[in-house]
């Protein structure tokens, strides 16, 4: 890892200490900085951006189709409200 990837909110690690998924919850810094941190991982894993503001979904799609169009990174957007509903359905 590098200092930029150390700032990622959540890394899921398997039993062999490999990163298998990454999550960024964007509340104040914005989608673009979260995607940039994910790109710093330099590994092929699903990278989830969890947005907390309505305009984040639109910005995510714009960045995915422009700045990260030729990237091999598997960016996935999750709306914070959906994550909360999923969590509440489990409990």
**pLDDT value for 41:** 82
Sign of CA dihedral 42, 4, 60, 70: negative
Over 90: is that where the pLDDT of 15 sits? yes
Over 70: is that where the pLDDT of 80 sits? yes
**pLDDT value for 5:** 64
pLDDT, one tens digit per residue, over 20-76 is 999 998 877 788 888 988 888 878 888 999 988 778 888 999 999 999 998 888 899
The DSSP letter of residue 44 is -
Distance CA 88, CA 66 (A): 35
Confidence of residue 3 (pLDDT cuts 50, 70, 90): low
Cα-to-chain-centroid distance, residue 26 = 8
pTM: predicted TM-score of the whole model, two decimal places: 0.79
Distance CA 14, CA 5 (A): 17
Q: By three-state DSSP, how is residue 1 classified?
A: coil
70 phi/psi in degrees, rounded to 5: -100, 15
Q: Give me the mean pLDDT over the 11-19 stretch.
A: 91
Which helix (H) or strand (E) is 28 found in, with range?
A: none
């Amino acid at each position: 890892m590098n200092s930029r990837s150390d700032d990622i909110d959540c890394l899921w690690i398997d039993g062999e200490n490999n990163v298998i998924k990454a999550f960024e919850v964007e509340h104040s810094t914005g989608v673009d900085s979260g995607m940039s941190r994910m790109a710093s991982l330099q590994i092929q894993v699903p990278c989830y951006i969890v947005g907390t503001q309505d305009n984040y979904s639109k910005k995510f799609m714009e960045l995915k189709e422009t700045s990260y169009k030729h990237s091999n990174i598997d960016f996935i957007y999750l709306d914070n409200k959906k994550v909360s509903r999923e969590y509440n359905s489990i409990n």
